[in-house]
């Protein structure tokens, strides 16, 4: 089984008529780590929401692990794809932090001990081991973001899709997240404005602008193309 992402000629229009994605084709191989960059409104979050079926193409096709993202494959796809939303308030819905992190593994029908072990480990991985009994709703945005990441890590997904994971984090939390991502051998697509992280962590970078892929290549090459970066509102780190 290849846990890869295959997007073919994807276009997407929101119900209000806004065309957010135009003819996107993107293939991500097993254990490949890809950065997705581009200005606000480029379509990064919209693209990511297609990877676990929260949005469906207006045109084109999205496949994950060889399966088309359709209603009948949704259970399998969501077990494979761990998606962390840009806004952690969209991810956290249990009153207690521990229950949010345990929710995924609990619904995978794992034994209680395994659910507990995974949840404790996931909290530790984001440095939030002391937050198990806190109320998610009361946390700061950076704390919520780290818990949101833990809710996905506890499911041990084959593919990690992270929407601006470092945006709200303090320097220490950012650093430990970067170290964690570096050590994980996993297929990853990460939307970010953190160009230093891109340079450090991702061999491949995709630039999205106006709903279109305008560049896709080795990160060092893209980060050295100053006219390209400037044309799309990006800066060399
Ligand atoms: N629910 C929605 N209805 C209409 N337009 C939307 C909706 N959500 C996002 N958009 C628009 O789609 C475009 C892409 O948004 P988004 O994917 O969030 O971009 P990014 O994540 O790159 O900042 C933006 O112009 C945004 O305003
Ligand atoms: Mg976004």
pLDDT in tens, the chain (237 residues): 456 999 999 999 999 999 999 999 999 999 999 999 999 999 999 999 999 999 999 999 999 999 999 999 999 999 999 999 999 999 999 999 999 999 999 998 899 999 999 999 999 999 999 999 999 999 999 999 999 999 999 999 999 999 999 998 999 999 999 999 999 999 999 999 999 999 999 999 999 999 999 999 999 999 999 999 999 999 999
Residue 135, in any domain of the structure: no
- Containing structural domain, residue 49: 5-88+159-231
Residue 52, in any domain of the structure: yes
Residue 101, in any domain of the structure: no
**Cβ(42) to ligand 1 under 6 A?**
yes
Buried b vs exposed e over 168-192: b needs ≥16 C-beta within 10 Å? bbeeebbeebbeebeeeebbbbbbb
- Do the Cβ atoms of 211 and 20 come closer than 8 Å? yes
Taking CA atoms only, the protein residue closest to ligand 1 atom 25 is 41
How many domains in the chain? 1
Element (H, E) at 191: strand 187-191
The DSSP symbol for 9 reads E
Res 3: pLDDT: 62
Res 39: pLDDT: 97
Res 2: pLDDT: 58
Taking CA atoms only, the protein residue closest to ligand 1 atom 4 is 14
Residue 74, in any domain of the structure: yes
How far is the centre of ligand 1, averaged over its atoms, from the C-alpha of 42 (Å)?
8
Residue 15, in any domain of the structure: yes
How far is the centre of ligand 1, averaged over its atoms, from the C-alpha of 20 (Å)?
6
Residue 207, in any domain of the structure: yes
Residue 96, in any domain of the structure: no
Tokens for 175, please give them: 């650093």
**Cβ(40) to ligand 1 under 6 A?**
yes
User: Going edge to edge, which strands form the sheet with 19-28?
Assistant: 19-28, 5-13, 59-64, 67-68
Residue 198, in any domain of the structure: yes
Tokens for 179, please give them: 């170290």
- Do the Cβ atoms of 206 and 21 come closer than 8 Å? no
Question: Within 13 A of 167's CA, how many CA atoms are on the CB side?
Answer: 20
* Location of structure tokens 């693209």: 47
For the entire predicted model, the pTM comes to 0.96
Res 127: pLDDT: 94
How far is Cα 4 from Cα 159, in angstroms, rounded to an integer? Answer: 8
Tokens for 8, please give them: 């073919």
Res 170: pLDDT: 94
CATH number of the domain residue 169 falls in? 3.40.50.300
Q: Which ligand is nearest to the CA of 167?
A: 2
């Amino acid at each position: 089984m290849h846990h890869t992402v295959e997007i073919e000629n994807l276009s997407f229009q929101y119900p209000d008529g806004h065309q957010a994605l135009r003819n996107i084709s993107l293939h991500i191989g097993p254990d490949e780590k890809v950065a997705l960059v581009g200005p606000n409104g480029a379509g990064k979050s919209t693209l990511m929401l297609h990877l676990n079926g929260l949005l469906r193409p207006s045109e084109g096709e999205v496949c994950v692990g060889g399966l088309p993202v359709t209603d009948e494959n949704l259970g399998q796809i969501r077990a494979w794809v761990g998606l962390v939303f840009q806004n952690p308030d969209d991810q956290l819905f249990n009153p207690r932090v521990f229950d949010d992190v345990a929710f995924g593994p609990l619904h995978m029908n794992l034994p209680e001990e395994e659910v507990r072990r995974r949840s404790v480990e996931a909290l530790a991985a984001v440095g939030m081991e002391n937050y198990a009994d806190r109320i998610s709703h009361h946390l700061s945005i950076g704390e919520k973001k780290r818990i949101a990441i833990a809710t996905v890590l506890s499911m041990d997904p084959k593919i990690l899709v992270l929407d601006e994971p470092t945006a709200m984090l303090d320097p220490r939390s950012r650093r430990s997240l970067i170290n964690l991502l570096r050590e994980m051998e996993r297929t990853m697509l990460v939307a970010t404005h953190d160009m230093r992280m891109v340079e450090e962590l991702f061999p491949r970078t995709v630039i999205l602008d106006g709903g279109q892929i305008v560049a896709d290549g080795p990160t060092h090459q893209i980060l050295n193309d100053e006219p390209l970066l400037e044309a799309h509102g990006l800066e060399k780190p």
